[in-house]
Chain A
Amino acid sequence: MVNTTRIFTKLPLMIILAFGLTSCGWIQKNWGEKAPDQKQVSLKASALPSFENFLKGSDADALFVLSEWEKMVTDAFGFIQGSKAGVLTLREIDVLIKSGLVDLGPNSSELHTQLKSALRLLGFGSEISAQDARNLFQWVRTNRHRIRTLHRVAIEPSLRGYAESVNVSDLEDLMLLVSSFTERLGNTPVPVSELEPLLQPWIPKDYVHAKKALKPGIDLVVSFFASLCGERVDAQAWNGKRFGDCLTQFVGHFKELSPYLEFVMGTAHPIRDRASLKSVQGQLSVKMTQWIHGHHHPSFEIGRIRHFSEALELPLPPNFNKISNWLPRLSTKNTPKLFHPEFGIELSSIFENWLSYFLSATENQTCTEDNWSQCSYQGSYSTLQAFYQPRYAKVVKNKTWGMVKSVSLYDSLGRFFLEKLDTDKDGFLDDEIRDLLDVLLKIVDSRQYLDNIVSRVLEKPIDDYSIETSIEALKLKGLSELAALAAEVFPDRKLGENRTLKKKLRALFDPSEKQISYSMDALGISSVFFVYDLISSLRNDYLTHYDLPQQQLVSRKGIVPVTQIHRKKIVEALPSMLYDHFPNVFEECVAWGFERTCGTLFTEVLASPIPGTPYLEPSDIDMISVTAIFLEGLQNRCDYNGDGKFKTQLLDGFDEKHCVLKLARALLLRLMNAGIMDSDPKIDLITRFVANSWVGRQLGRNVIGTGSPLKFFLPKAASLGSIINLAADLMDSDKTEAIEKGYIGPHADPGDELIYLNQMTQNFIPAAELSKRLGTRQPLRSDQIEEVVY
């Protein structure tokens, strides 16, 4: 039997020996082995739904997103323990951000600063509590519909236009949202001087201009709201609660006038909403007076706009400085530098009259969207109505009540300025009306300025002011000349019907006119706007529907590329333009020889191309419209009996030819004043001769009848064609001579060569009823065309 005790006694020795022999390397390997890494746990942040769903999803989506975010934020106050329970100080938020626990993305330092300034602006001081956060979420929940509306109004219009997406209730919601939010901001005033550093972090560093203009921008906004709210807000400091209170009061005060706003924004229907529109008639100035009187509204400093523009490096609307000159003239309360809030009461009369005129114009049941020329305007626009006949309404403008609204507004503006500026109460404004109209048209076009502010802030190219471009095309003075022309040509003041025989006989011997003036009555003022409206519409129509290839050329740095059109293409399209929009002119020119008449006249008024290029800018086409409008207006204005001829009445100094001479002379002089035509002493002498002497007037009558300055001895009835023929001769006799003799004459500008050798007649005059451009759009129905009566 084996002695187990002995075996076990030897066993340890054997084990030790075995270990001793084999374990040296093993021990070396394990000795002082590195300790395991410290234990670490991972926490995964729960994924939050995108906040975009709050704005774009359904209401249920919005509530879900809000509840998830609220849970995350309020839970964080329990999860994160700072020095005080349920409160996080700015310093603690700093630590969280610097540690990377609050990930603000790649621009963390920027966002960090933004967060701090936001807390200050939100009135939280140096700390925010869980209750603050809950209150904020509760506010968002309560106002979620308004916030979503704001998003829709602010973002979506970029896709489909503000006008289609915004209504009055949206604006009201927006105002209430802003006031509700600002009321939450606490009653702690932040001095205006401290606002800039608080807001500066919110402007991305790439927005250089916005950063630079922030300070004057704040001054501008604070000054504006101080003027708007008066003592309701503090002019020297930002106080969110008082600002919010003011907005709330403002909305409440003017709430019952919302039909006004509906009307201005074009969402009111003159028939359906007539009762509500009538109910607020005359209320605007009353409300304005109640809002302003007794609340110590300070004046608004116009200079703040200039400072803001300068900081943005954004050009002010042309002749903006003239506003300073006009402010005291429009209201004694204004000074050249200050816009008095009570002037706002006076301005409100424009809107009041606008609505009144609109309601009055649409009172007549024959006034409809389709037949807006039958509306009862403040003045007679028979000449213009010839242009805005149904055919134009279809081609140039959509058939909307907008046309009636526009005329009503122009009438209201005309009346306002006449009331304010006609100091001698003779019903006419003096020569300075040119400047005023310049300013007004710029204000009308101020949307361009506002758009440019947004573009500049976003560091996008700004657009040139279209008005300015127009002025350049009209050689700087053209606009006022156009204004004067419009005032002379378009309003039908029924002068011919009311004159006595004595006056008519006396007119045969008296100088027909003194120097042309710029006097203008209310109707004239309206007409200016009217014509401006018309040429803008025509220009858009040409660019959209005619074969005018456009190319984008980069001009000055920071300015959007300029659209340019080859001048030759414009000349090629000229017959179609006239055919479609100015049929009287077209037909007369065809009868008298298109190249000899319209070809010469319009290539002369059409500007020369940009130096070194064959291109023109779109606004250059306006001169074609202006000239054609004038000629058509001449026909409508002076052809008293509508027979298409201008005849002489032996016993009437105010006969049709007198009318033509008067307006033709005005045209010539204004075109020369505008620099469109070269000043020619001979023409000036002739026009003076015709204007100031009986013989001259008789010879002039003959000349416009024959259409040739050399055939002054043949008494003949004049027509539009003979007048254009004469004008062409006066403008460039070398061209007309070459056309008549059949060789290629002067053609300094591209396209001018087309007026020779019958090229336009053979190639570009519409052969059928429809012009070329109609091939690219829905042709007019025959019944529509038949409605045209000339």
Chain B
Amino acid sequence: MRLGVLGVILFSFVVFLKPTFARANFNNTLTSKAISYASEGSPTGYLENRTVFQTQNFKLESVFFFESGPRGLWSLDAPEIRYQFNYGTLEKNSIWFGRGHPLAINRGESISAFTAFGSDWTQNQVNALHPFVDGWIGFGVQKEIFSGFEIFGAYSPLFIPTFSPGLGINKRGELNPSRFARLPPTTVETGGVLLPIRYQIQIDQLSELLLQHSLFLGTAFTHTSWRAEAFAYTAPRTTPKTNTTAGLAINEDTVNAKVQVKPLFPRETWAGLSMQNTSLPFAPRLEFKQSLTEGEKNYVSLWGKKELQKGQPIEIGLLTRLNQSPVDYPDLSDLLLMAKVPVSFTDSLKYSTIIETTLQTARKSFFWLNQVQYTFFQNFSAIAEVGILGGEDTSFFGEWRAHDFISLGATWAW
């Protein structure tokens, strides 16, 4: 599937982008680190490359990362790859095709995974500690009806389910999961006997899974420092529900609980509202999203950022659900408070800290990342990080609390 995405990128590149090369902007950042996790004896190697290629009508943003070691993984993704052309006289009136998030295109900025609109849109969570929002593959249109009032929409004939950190299920159904995989139960207790669970993923015809359409319709109204948005969309659920059947499997001289998992991606319909005042400190945006198919499901967030120094915005946010239930599974929206605070001590020495904490009763957890970056010469920096995770057994970050880490590496941007 990932190769499919790569194919789409290359195809787009050849067909649509070649004429615009002349005026292209190209930014690339390559980062290499050695990471030592508290849970593991030896350090792992980490390599990340972020590319942004942009012309007047075309934008490609790709992210590649790779981590070595038995529990490492790699990912190549393109959150945005689209060709856009304007029609009419107004700048806002445009049509795009490729991959993009209709709301992000309309806003002109990426959607944070820590907001109501982005939290369950996060289609790629492989880099579990740094989730981001992907776009749809299809086409979209936006039009300014009158000054400050726009409508926009998008249609996608393709559906790409979530790529979460792999569970690492081998042919025998044994788990060898990625470090940040959300593990299903690994054992079953029945009648005093503890059995390991073996999983078997059952996926129907792949084309039936991928060829599912999504439709987004939205409107935005901007007046002085206020901006209001309203939208509705329908799409298959990005994170699957699972239909499981369990049994006992006898292999050689052992008995396992065998769970056959069939991931289901039921269609969901959502409606959302947002309001932002850019004149207030941090330009706070209040977002609310309500499921129209599951009445009790909703998200609400208050998020803002303020750029004190160029390229180093302070971000703060609150994300939660209005009807939290103690029986829900851990989620980023478990009354999440986050803050990202970058500090430049000198031109060469920079520090940033990110605190993300879920405060929901019985699911309290936190992630605290501290990063120090020292630039030796232009575009080349050394980076040191300390990340601490903690929380209750069943909580968003607490499940990873053994994976505290330190890292040391370098970044080269050009």
Contact = CB atoms under 8 A, between A and B. Distances in A.
Given A41-B188, A95-B255, A99-B193, A36 B399 contact: yes
Contacts of B225: none
B190 A43 contact: yes
Contacts of A36: 393-394, 398-399, 401
A38 B193 contact: no
A99 B187 CA distance: 14
Given A81-B248, A82-B250, A92-B250, A100 B193 contact: yes
A40 B187 contact: yes
Interface string A15-55: 11001000000010011111111111111110000000000
A333 to B, nearest CB: 58
A82 B249 CA distance: 6
A765 B215 CA distance: 118
Interface size class of B (residues with CB under 8 A): 35 or more
Contact of A39 (B183, B194, B342): B183
Interface string B151-167: 00000000000000000
Nearest to A82: B250
A19 B398 CA distance: 21
Contact of A43 (B38, B189, B342, B399): B189
A91 B400 CA distance: 41
B401 A35 contact: yes
Contacts of A9: 308-309
Contacts of A79: 246-248
Contacts of A15: 341, 353
Given A8-B308, A12-B353, A32-B402, A101 B186 contact: no
B353 A38 contact: no
20 contacts: A9-B309, A13-B343, A15-B353, A19-B353, A30-B388, A31-B388, A33-B390, A36-B394, A36-B399, A37-B393, A41-B185, A43-B188, A80-B248, A81-B248, A95-B252, A98-B253, A100-B191, A100-B193, A101-B190, A101-B193
Interface string B330-351: 0000000000011100000001
B247 A78 contact: yes
A101 B190 CA distance: 8
A40 B184 CA distance: 9
A16 B401 contact: no
B103 interface: no
Given A34-B402, A101-B195, A101-B255, 4 more contacts: A42-B189, A43-B191, A79-B246, A100-B191
B406 to A, nearest CB: 10
A600 B406 CA distance: 117
A291 B193 CA distance: 57
A87 to B, nearest CB: 11
B390 A30 contact: yes
Contacts of A515: none
Contacts of B4: none
Contacts of B249: 80-81
A5 interface: yes
Interface residues of A, number: 41
B189 A33 contact: no
A33 B38 CA distance: 8
Contact of A100 (B39, B192, B398): B192
B400 to A, nearest CB: 8
Nearest to B187: A40
Nearest to A92: B250
B404 interface: yes
A8 B390 contact: no
A103 B191 contact: yes
Contacts of A543: none
Contacts of B398: 36
Contacts of B246: 43, 79
Contacts, number: 118
Given A32-B402, A35-B401, A101-B193, A95 B188 contact: no
A4 to B, nearest CB: 7
A103 B190 CA distance: 11
B181 to A, nearest CB: 12
A587 B353 CA distance: 126
A11 B39 contact: no
Nearest to B175: A38
Given A11-B341, A96-B250, A32 B404 contact: yes
Contacts of B19: none
Contacts of B184: 39
A8 B314 contact: yes
Contact of A80 (B192, B247, B253): B247
Top 8 nearest A-B pairs (CB, nearest first) are: A32-B38, A35-B402, A36-B393, A12-B343, A39-B185, A43-B190, A100-B193, A99-B255
Given A31-B388, A99-B255, A38 B187 contact: yes
A40 B38 contact: no
B343 A16 contact: yes
Nearest to B398: A36
A517 to B, nearest CB: 78
Nearest to A10: B343
A34 B193 CA distance: 25
A33 B248 CA distance: 34
Contacts of A13: 343
Contacts of A45: 190-191
Contacts of B402: 32-35
B308 A5 contact: yes
Question: Which of B246, B248, B399 has the most chain A CB within a 10 Å cutoff?
Answer: B248
A96 to B, nearest CB: 6
B341 A40 contact: no
B306 interface: yes
B344 to A, nearest CB: 9
